[in-house]
Amino acid sequence: MTEEHAHLVPYKTFLLIWVALLVLTVITVAAAQFDFGALNIWIALGIATLKSSLVVAIFMHMKYEQWLFKLALLAALAILAIFIGLTFFDVLYR
């Protein structure tokens, strides 16, 4: 564990990620001005996923953690996906 905690992320990386997050926010707002039909939701969700991945990987240091933590995160996400996916059997076919 100690090696991971000793890992120092340079300020430059933090700044870059912050800028990237801002740019992605601008893109979200911009994309909302147009109607892409069924793609609307996918575009919005895609950008949101990208942003949260950046936050989790860099700001929350997941990128530098051991595999067990990554696995735990992935398992939680997979379970969330199953719950939401099964709910869509209702919402999509109503």
Partner 1 sequence: MSETTPTAVDRGFFGEANYPGILGWIFSTDHKRIGLLYFWCIVVFFSVGVLLGLLIRLELFAPGETIMTAQTYNAAFTLHGVIMIFLFIIPGIPAAFGNLIMPIQLGARDVAFPKLNLMSWWLYVIGAALALTSLFTGGGPPDTGWTFYVPFSAQTSTNVSLAAVAVFILGFSSILTGLNFVTTIHRLRAEGMTWMRIPLFTWSLYATAWIQILATPVIGITVALLFVERIVGTGLFDPTQGGDPIMFQHLFWIYSHPAVYIMILPGMGVVSDIIPVFARKPAFGYKAIVVSSLAIAFAGSLVWAHHMYTSGMSDMAVLVFSFLTFIVAIPSAIKVFNWLATLYQGSILLDPPLLYALSFILLFTIGGLTGLVLGAAATDVHVHDTYFVVGHFHFVMFGGTGMAFFAAMHYWLPKIYGRMYDKVVATVAWGVILIGFCVLYISMKVVGMQGMPRRYYDYIPEFTGINQLATVGSWILAFGLLLMFVNLFRGIFKGEPFGSNPWGGATLEWQVPSPPPTENFDDDPVVTHGPYDYKKAGIL
Chain residues in the site for partner 1 (CB under 8 A): 76, 79, 82-83, 86-87, 89-94
Closest CA to 17 of 49, 42, 52, 44: 52
Within 8 A by CB and 6+ apart from 89, the residues are: none
Task: State in angstroms the smallest separation of the CB of 68 from partner 1.
Answer: 11
Q: In the complex with partner 1, which residue's Cβ is closer, 55 or 76? A: 76
Q: In the complex with partner 1, which residue's Cβ is closer, 19 or 71? A: 71
Rg, the chain, Cα only: 17
Evaluated on CA atoms 24, 25, 30, 31, the torsion sign reads positive
Q: In the complex with partner 1, which residue's Cβ is closer, 39 or 72? A: 72
